[in-house]
Amino acid sequence: MHIMEGYLPAAHAAGWGLASGSVLIYCTRSVGRTLCARPQDKFLLAASAAYMFTLSALKLPSLTGSCSHPTGVGLGAVLFGWRPMVVVGAIVLLFQALLLAHGGLTTLGANLFAMGIAGALVARGVFCLSRRIRLPAALGTFLAAALGDLITYVVTAGQLAWAFPDPEGGFAGSFIKFLGVFAVTQVPLAIAEGLLTVLVLNALAAHDRRELQELGVLPAGGQQ
């Protein structure tokens, strides 16, 4: 879920906004330099943004009474790294808040931190680790997309628990409760997103394998 408009206390909303805004400024400058060096990546980055927007806009009812959605952050993180997905995530979440009433402007910083920053960092880290230990690209992509999805909800649960600690159990008690709200629906959703991301990567490889090799997603001359 996106944390809805006005749900977080003002101090928490401002704090997450400052934290995410600082990271966003850094990433925007980094992405600008990267695209100047490789302008041919613009179309593939735009496709990754469309993928992220479409998946994260799907609002699926949760078995626990909340709602969940895929994040779509894994594909772009695998292709381009975590920094571009912070910028893309900010744009996607802003449009969703304004046009679809998913999330909100006051919670934009918290939602960006969970999905665009933490989700992208974990997805990219998992994929880089998979390349280092020589896992097949398809398996590394699956793990990156699935775990990038799951960590988003773990961070969101932490944000909500910090803002609304349990009267008896404190932060830990509230964190476990919020995780329980998400987990039943989100675990199968994360698996589904991982599989879908592998299918999309295979389609991209069939269309232009050389570009994926240049990006370091596929080994040069190797098998996927």
- CA 122, 160, 23, 42 dihedral sign is positive
Any domain includes 182: yes
Any domain includes 115: yes
Question: Shortest CA distance to 72 belongs to which of 57, 61, 91, 90?
Answer: 57
Any domain includes 32: yes
Q: Residue 181 and residue 17: Cα distance in Å, rounded?
A: 25
Any domain includes 138: yes
Any domain includes 174: yes
The predicted-structure confidence for 15-24, as pLDDT tens digits, reads as follows 999 999 999 9
The predicted-structure confidence for 33-70, as pLDDT tens digits, reads as follows 878 878 888 888 899 999 999 998 887 766 555 667 88
Any domain includes 2: no
Provide the domain limits for residue 85.
10-214
The predicted-structure confidence for 83-136, as pLDDT tens digits, reads as follows 999 999 999 999 999 988 888 899 999 999 999 999 999 999 999 999 999 999
Q: Residue 178 and residue 176: Cα distance in Å, rounded?
A: 6
- CA 10, 12, 15, 16 dihedral sign is negative
Task: Report the CATH number at residue 89.
Answer: 1.10.1760.20
pTM of the entire predicted model? 0.90
Residue 135 has what pLDDT? 93
**How many structural domains are present in the chain?**
1
